[in-house]
């Protein structure tokens, strides 16, 4: 397998933690809430999923526990940010730090332990295509994440639920005036975003890299938040952005495999360098941000 085939084969799997967390954050931000605690939510979900699987509970139970636990932790953010109308940036950072601290505490006895991953599913015919055939050999979680991407796109495009979430994010006072509970919609959106972050962390810990190490999320939560801006709050662009970051994260390994004499530290920093560059480019286009942005993002709602 050459470097290009290696990147195509692993791109979707590498993109899945970014994609799941970013899709959850997209729903949260579309509802007008900015939750910067995604990194901690992912770490909390990751350690609990690993513990469940290591203790023999199975991968499915691990994902369920991770999703529920991260959703519960995100509801702490909802109580403080929505109930007490605290600053959403500060509250999100605090929840992120709490999640990382809890993951370090719970994961200490499991440091450097490994578990069995899950098998991959190949699409007959497509998986044998030269060079890009590896795209069609993925585990079930990757396929489900693609389905989730389509589902969230369809929700915002065609359903009343998506319209209500967008209305709450754009003009919460108008949404309240016509009878919608702004706080309820935002709490549900936050819980959904927390669950998706938990799933993302679980995938990273029990499927993509089936071992536990403190700090293994390694900034993926921050990149997921950046992806929402990178994709200008549009599902399709977020998916493409996740694939880009997934490919970039593999370029370091591919370069090392080909014997390229580049410092490993520089290769490891590629995803973060790309994040800074892309955000700088996107932020320069004020028209695009204004066209697709969320009007009341981060603003507290008072009846």
**Predicted local confidence at residue 256, as pLDDT:** 67
Q: Nearest to residue 241, comparing CAs of 230, 225, 252, 229?
A: 230
> What is the model's pLDDT at position 131?
84
Per residue, what are the HEC states of 48-114? HHHHHHHCCCCHHHHHHHHHHHHHHHHHHHHHHHHHCCCCHHHHHHHHHHHHHHHHHHHHHHHCCCE
Is the model's pLDDT at 134 over the cut of 80? yes
Greater confidence (267 vs 5) lies with 5
**Does the global pTM surpass 0.85?**
yes
Q: CA–CA separation, 3 vs 259, rounded Å?
A: 11
Give me the mean pLDDT over the 262-280 stretch: 74
**pLDDT score of 59:** 96
End-to-end CA distance of the chain: 60
Which tens digits make up the pLDDT trace of 158-184? 999 999 999 999 999 999 999 999 999
Taking the CB of residue 293, how many other CB atoms lie within 10 A of it? 15
Distance, in Å, from the CA atom of 152 to the CA atom of 162, rounded to the nearest integer, reads 8
CA 34 to chain centroid, in Å, comes to 14
Q: Where do the domains of the chain lie?
A: 15-218
Phi, psi (degrees; rounded to nearest 5) at 70: -70, -35
Task: Identify the H or E element spanning 120.
Answer: strand 120-122
In the chain, pLDDT over 70 holds for what percent of residues?
94
Q: Please state the separation of Cα 256 from the chain's center in Å.
A: 27
Q: Which two tokens stand for residue 189?
A: 């959106």
Could you read off the pLDDT of 109-122 as tens digits, one per residue? 999 899 998 999 99
Instruction: Report pLDDT for 302.
Output: 79
Say whether pLDDT at 200 is over 70: yes
pLDDT of residue 259: 64
* pLDDT at residue 261, rounded to an integer: 67
User: Of residues 260 and 75, which shows the higher confidence score?
Assistant: 75
- Measured distance CA(128)–CA(109) in Å, rounded: 42
Comparing 268 with 124, which gets the higher pLDDT? 124
Average of per-residue pLDDT values in the chain? 91
Residue 14 DSSP class: H
- Of 223, 294, 289, 165, the closest CA to residue 20 belongs to 223
Q: What is the mean pLDDT of residues 42-68?
A: 97
């Amino acid at each position: 397998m050459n470097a290009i085939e290696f990147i195509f084969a692993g791109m979707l799997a590498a993109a899945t933690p970014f994609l799941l967390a970013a899709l959850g954050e997209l729903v949260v931000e579309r509802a007008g809430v900015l939750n910067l605690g995604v990194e901690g939510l992912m770490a909390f979900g990751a350690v609990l999923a690993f513990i469940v699987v290591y203790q023999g509970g199975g991968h499915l139970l691990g994902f369920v526990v991770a999703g529920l636990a991260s959703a519960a932790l995100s509801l702490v953010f909802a109580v403080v940010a929505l109930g007490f109308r605290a600053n959403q940036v500060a509250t999100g950072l605090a929840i992120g730090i709490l999640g990382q601290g809890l993951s370090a505490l719970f994961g200490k006895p499991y440091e450097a332990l490994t578990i069995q991953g899950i098998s991959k599913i190949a699409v007959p015919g497509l998986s044998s295509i030269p060079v890009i055939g590896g795209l069609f050999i993925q585990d079930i979680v990757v396929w489900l994440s693609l389905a989730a991407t389509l589902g969230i796109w369809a929700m915002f495009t065609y359903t009343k639920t998506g319209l209500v979430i967008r209305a709450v994010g754009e003009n919460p006072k108008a949404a309240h005036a016509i009878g919608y509970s702004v706080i309820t919609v935002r709490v549900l959106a936050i819980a959904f975003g927390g669950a998706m972050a938990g799933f993302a962390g679980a995938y990273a810990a029990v499927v993509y890299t089936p071992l536990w190490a403190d700090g293994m999320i390694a900034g993926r939560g921050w990149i997921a938040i950046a992806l929402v801006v990178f994709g200008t709050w549009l599902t399709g662009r977020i998916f493409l952005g996740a694939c880009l970051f997934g490919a970039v994260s593999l370029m370091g390994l591919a370069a090392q495999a080909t014997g390229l004499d580049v410092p490993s530290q520089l290769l490891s920093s590629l995803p973060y360098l790309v994040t800074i560059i892309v955000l700088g480019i996107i932020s320069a286009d004020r028209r695009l941000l204004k066209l697709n942005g969320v009007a009341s993002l981060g603003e507290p709602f008072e009846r």
